[in-house]
Structure 1
Amino acid sequence: MKKVVLGLLFGGLLTVASTAHAQSTAPIESTEQVSSDNTTAELYLRATDWVQNHFPKQPTTDFKANASAHEVRVTGTSKVSPVNSAGKDLPTVLYFDFVFRTTSQGYTYFVNNFRVVTTTGKVVGTKPLDEFIAEFAADRSDAKTHNSRRVTAQASSISSEVALSFRSYMNNAPITEEGTVGLPAAEH
């Protein structure tokens, strides 16, 4: 009886482990919908200022600001560093998109569409990050290098950093009306 129970437990453990290992990774992205009392024009101008002057991952390309739709788009650049079998970093350029849109109740923003820059001879192209990670996961050396987890964690960190920077900037909007807090009352 003990052998049957142990056999079932071991078989169940192997099934769970193989299922967990075979699961595909979810796309890396940060998305948030935020309620705001500011006008769409104010939100749009604030987001445009952040992209042009405070974007944390430089250089940026493909900046597109659509004032009539209150939408801002930009492609940011960063790096991920998988390692070779000797443990040496292999810095790899990564592109991602930042999209901001106003809504009737506030705004929505996305940090998504991660792509790895590839070079084949003289041809430079891009490959979806999910595909890049899947190649590492399929490689036998991934058990030693952990590149699939390493690159996933690095890209997730980049996504979170950009989202946190943007949200922090939007939450610290300047006061639009001059206040008198801390100033002596003016005599009329």
Structure 2
Amino acid sequence: MKKVVLGFLFGGLLALTAPAHGQSEPVASIESIEQVSNDNTTATLYLRALDWAENHFTKLPKTAFKPDASAHEVRVTGTSKVTPVTVSGKEQPMVVYFDFIFKTTSQGYDYRVTNFKIVTTTGKTVETKSLEEYITQLTADHNDPKTHNARRVTAQANSLASEVALSFRSYMNNTPVTEEGTVGLPATEH
């Protein structure tokens, strides 16, 4: 009798925990957004962001580069890759586009790495679709429990968003020194 009861309890426990392993929830938007307080002028912040986008943005090729000096805004579309795998474990690199958007605010600036799109090919047709839609399709694929592509692609895209955000924030935090000889010296009166 004990074995029968334990069997039912164990079976019930398995039945309750099985749905927790699936990804039935909607896919969260993949992006990195930050608002930063800064005392510099909007023109100074805009010029720093412009310099980063022109000279230090590493996700090439970059397209749709749109600086707007009057709005103190910089937009650029970057390119990278994600690599889902086949059931046999072979990597299938796929191109991903994303937008980097910088805008000054009255207290500093905000920026975002957002609008991820994946390039898909069907026969001779090349198109883009939102990465969230692609991940939803991966989740529905019957091979996803073997390949874990939905989690793999989500993690790679989140890592990419974090990498770009970290690069930009690091660059913005390292303000150039205008007069090298005055660093650490007391101010002099004229």
TM-score with structure 1 setting the length = 0.88
* Partner of residue 139, structure 2: 137
What does 1:148-167 align with in structure 2 at a 5 Å threshold?
148-167=150-169
TM-score with structure 2 setting the length = 0.87
Q: Percent identity between the aligned chains? A: 65
Distance, in Å, in 2 between the alignment partners of 1:97 and 1:71 is 13
What does 1:1-188 align with in structure 2 at a 5 Å threshold?
11=12, 14-15=15-16, 17-18=18-19, 21=22, 22-177=24-179, 179-181=181-183
Distance, in Å, in 2 between the alignment partners of 1:77 and 1:33 is 24
Q: C-alpha displacement at 1:175, in angstroms?
A: 2.2
SS at match of 1:33: strand
Moved over 6 A (4+): 2-6
Please, which runs of 5 or more residues in structure 1 have no aligned partner?
none
Q: C-alpha displacement at 1:125, in angstroms?
A: 1.2
Distance, in Å, in 1 between the alignment partners of 2:7 and 2:34 is 46
SS at match of 2:101: strand
Distance, in Å, in 1 between the alignment partners of 2:62 and 2:18 is 41
Q: C-alpha displacement at 1:17, in angstroms?
A: 4.2
Per-residue Cα deviation, 1:8-52 (whole angstroms, up to 9, x for no partner): 786466445425621122111100000001100000000011011
Q: 1:10 to 1:60 in 2, by over 3 A?
A: same
- Counting matched residue pairs gives 185
Distance, in Å, in 2 between the alignment partners of 1:27 and 1:149 is 13
Distance, in Å, in 2 between the alignment partners of 1:79 and 1:95 is 8
Please, which runs of 5 or more residues in structure 2 have no aligned partner?
none
SS at match of 2:182: coil
